[in-house]
Structure 1
Amino acid sequence: MTDVSRPAPAHAAPRLAGGAPELSVIVPTFNERENVRALTDAIEVALAGHRFEIVFVDDDSTDGTRDALTALAAERDHVRMIHRIGRRGLATAVTEGMLSTTAPYIAVIDADLQHDERVLPDMLDLLRTDQADLVVGSRYTAGGGIGDWDAKRARVSSTATRLAKLITSADITDPMSGFFAITRPAFYSAVRDLSGQGYKILLDIAASAEQPLRVREVPYEFRSRQAGTSKLDALIIWEYLLLLVDKLVGHIVPARFISFMFIGGLGVFVHMGALSVMVALGQPRFLWAQATATLLAMIFNFFVNNTLTYRDRRLKGFLAVTRGLFTFILVCSVGAIANVGIADYLFSDFHYGWFSAGLAGIAVGVVWNYAATSVFTWRSR
């Protein structure tokens, strides 16, 4: 017999009758075990009386986050988890979470409790009443704040906000925000053109939408992280620059290819620096010095590309890195042979000038190296 007088448990879903959730809250996670339960409780309080679900998208956490999410999903039918293996990155995690739901309205919030979940009902109301296609939680509009940020972080954020104007005309005071809500049609208008680069999915959506979105902002005060460690590091700046490049010229040349070429250019300096040192020392013979410098440049290019260009597919662990380095050197050796062969063929048989022939050889080598290493070294899993 069911005791209908028993009060609902504190963690029971505060859902309205009437079927499917109206709002889906997407929460990307990576090593946030200590925060996910507290965030779930806070969202439930904020959205009491609304039909909603919470979709955690976990990038194969190593700290027990998935165990915590499994327990939450077992307790509460409005919580579910997507576990991603072999893929990494906030932008793609959010996109997969959004695509996994049929709710008419979708919100995105970080798992670290720094966003103020209490403004979610205001965001939902602006969407539901058709006052906006996209509602942004802003730290910079009147009533918002950046909390205890130091001057350096504030300057970096301000500079990134100004650079955002290069790729979108949307009137957003905080385009770097990771806290927003959007209608499903607005999301669908952008999803096929998303770059998937880096962490700034809001900016990517605003820049990719087929038509300018109607944007409203709600202020919130950015809070301090209560548990876990920040995922922000210097490489975030590189990913942000790649996002800008992708939205500016990605329809012509992939941003990842531009990164690959840039790092290859740095490798030239490594090559020439190592060669000049060996020549100055008189050891070894020039042929071996050139071969050694070439090998050092390849090793440099591999590790920098593994860190920057293919951060989302980064090879980790001794065996994976060793295999990746071996395939990279092998592929680039073939590219070097193709470079020399094409250049000599054009110069000798077609009487191209040395400069044009050399450039053509370099172009063939770079394209081969990029295409082949993306398949054999950093292949998608």
Structure 2
Amino acid sequence: MSDLKQNEVQVSIIIPTYNESENIIQVLKTIGDHLPKDIATEAIVVDDNSPDGTGKVVEDYINDTQNKIGYTVDVIHRKTKSGLSSAILDGIQHSSGETVVVMDSDFSHPPKIIPQLVEEIKISKYDIAIASRYTEGGEVSGWSTKRKLISKTAKGIAKAGLGVNESDPMSGFFAFRRKILEGIKFDAIGYKMLLEILVKTKGAKVKEIPYTFTDRTRGSSKLDSSTMFDYVRSVWKLYRYGHTAKVSEPRTSIRFISKAGRFYTVGASGLLVNYLVSLLFADAIINFWYIHATTIGIIVSMSSNFILNKIWTFEDRNFEAKKTLAQYGKFVGFSSLGALIQLGMVYVMVDNYQFAYSLALMLAVIIAASSNFILNKKWTFKEKVWS
């Protein structure tokens, strides 16, 4: 260990890892190259029992470079792969710095940005500093169109459903003042810890710093279907958290966001209905052409969405036949606009860009659902748009 451990640690850098043996040592070295020498710093590597021995690689590095790297490096060996957010939370609990930095270990998050993040917390007195891909001056390099679409869709869901205002609430590269977490219980679901922090520390002062995200050159991406499912679970729990906290909220803006959140939550349930029904008809029953299967999925999900939105989102429990049929007709009409968008996207992504049907379907349903809220709020359920 470095002698810095004898001093009070000011900055803790949390680095979760899983199969990053090719990258982690160079990342640790590069962090040391950019750290201010007058700030006592520790890095905590949280390894999820990597099959490639990442944790052992870090442990050997610590022992071989004792007192030579300029800052403390520790490693936490977890027994199972328990998820990115929980790894970050474990790292935070084992750290002692007043300022905490979270970053990936694959060079997509450049260590040279760390001093800027720390400065915003320690000198400019912000509570949270986010390295942002989407604020002015930020960008993404090396991503496919598909990956960019997934990222922006996830960001849009977070901003619309959870009411966060930051341009990159999905960033995995950020710093925060430790004390803002006092008294907060974290669910630590999925891979976007920042989003949970932003939702549960409303009122915190946030600064975004632009940077260029560069996709990994070694190792493999951790983005898969289970990651997407965990994200949906996380957004749902955060929405419920925010809704409970705002039950008596008198402000129109918050009521609007809450109602929009319910609408998009229903949309998420419709996504699941649409996805399962479409796959059922495309693969499991009679092998429909994917366009026909998608159409059936749309019809079933429209019906379930109408009932849930009528009862829960717009709190209309008048089921008089004439009124309900009229509402259903309008709801289907407006939703059909989104359906046309969905069909077009599925066709283009599958036929022109060779997306897997299951992925194309999921992306198309998410994007199409976004066009329905305002029209149905105003014309189907007769509410003022801003209410």
Aligned mate of 2:231, from 230, 240, 243: 240
Q: Does 1:201 align with 2:193?
A: yes
Aligned mate of 2:46, from 50, 57, 61: 57
Contact kept? 1:105, 1:127, Cα under 8 Å: yes
* Deviation, structure 1 residue 158: 1.1
The aligned residue for residue 185 of structure 1 is 179
* Deviation, structure 1 residue 130: 4.5
Aligned mate of 1:38, from 16, 19, 26: 26
Runs of 5+ consecutive residues of structure 2 not aligned to the other structure: 245-264, 287-387
Letter in 1 for 2:40: R
* Deviation, structure 1 residue 95: 0.5
Please list, as runs of the form range in 1=range in 2, the aligned pairs for 1:98-177 lying within 5 A after superposition.
98-177=92-171
CA distance in 1 between counterparts of 2:34 and 2:4 reads: 14
* Deviation, structure 1 residue 73: 2.3
* Deviation, structure 1 residue 175: 0.8
CA distance in 2 between counterparts of 1:171 and 1:266 reads: 32
Between 63-72 and 175-184, report the one with greater CA deviation.
Answer: 63-72
Contact kept? 1:168, 1:206, Cα under 8 Å: no
CA distance in 1 between counterparts of 2:5 and 2:74 reads: 19
CA distance in 2 between counterparts of 1:17 and 1:56 reads: 16
Aligned mate of 2:17, from 23, 26, 29: 29
The aligned residue for residue 343 of structure 2 is none
- Give me the TM-score of the superposition, normalised by structure 1: 0.60
Letter in 2 for 1:64: G
CA distance in 1 between counterparts of 2:183 and 2:166 reads: 18
* Deviation, structure 1 residue 228: 1.3
Contact kept? 2:11, 2:41, Cα under 8 Å: yes
Contact kept? 1:27, 1:57, Cα under 8 Å: yes
- Give me the TM-score of the superposition, normalised by structure 2: 0.59
The aligned residue for residue 213 of structure 1 is 204
* Deviation, structure 1 residue 252: 9.7
Q: Does 1:249 align with 2:243?
A: no
The 1:16/1:65 distance shift into structure 2, 3 A limit, reads closer
Question: Deviations along 1:80-120, whole A, 9 cap, x unmatched?
Answer: 01111135100000001001112100000001111111111
- Secondary structure class of the residue paired with 1:24: strand
CA distance in 1 between counterparts of 2:148 and 2:5 reads: 44
- Secondary structure class of the residue paired with 1:146: strand
The aligned residue for residue 7 of structure 2 is 19
Aligned mate of 2:60, from 60, 71, 96: 71
Please list, as runs of the form range in 1=range in 2, the aligned pairs for 1:271-350 lying within 5 A after superposition.
none
The aligned residue for residue 89 of structure 2 is 95
* Deviation, structure 1 residue 131: 2.9
CA distance in 2 between counterparts of 1:96 and 1:201 reads: 12
- Secondary structure class of the residue paired with 1:107: strand
CA distance in 1 between counterparts of 2:236 and 2:164 reads: 18
- Secondary structure class of the residue paired with 2:75: strand
Report percent identity of matched pairs.
31
The 1:145/1:266 distance shift into structure 2, 3 A limit, reads closer
- Secondary structure class of the residue paired with 1:115: coil
Contact kept? 1:26, 1:57, Cα under 8 Å: yes
CA distance in 1 between counterparts of 2:141 and 2:238 reads: 31
Letter in 2 for 1:218: I
CA distance in 1 between counterparts of 2:113 and 2:124 reads: 17
The 1:127/1:43 distance shift into structure 2, 3 A limit, reads same
Aligned CA RMSD, in angstroms, stands at 3.0
Runs of 5+ consecutive residues of structure 1 not aligned to the other structure: 1-11, 278-381
* Deviation, structure 1 residue 238: 1.3
CA distance in 2 between counterparts of 1:158 and 1:121 reads: 27
Aligned residues, how many?
252
Question: Deviations along 1:129-168, whole A, 9 cap, x unmatched?
Answer: 2431000000111221101212221111111111112454
The 1:112/1:44 distance shift into structure 2, 3 A limit, reads same
- Larger Rg over CA atoms: 1
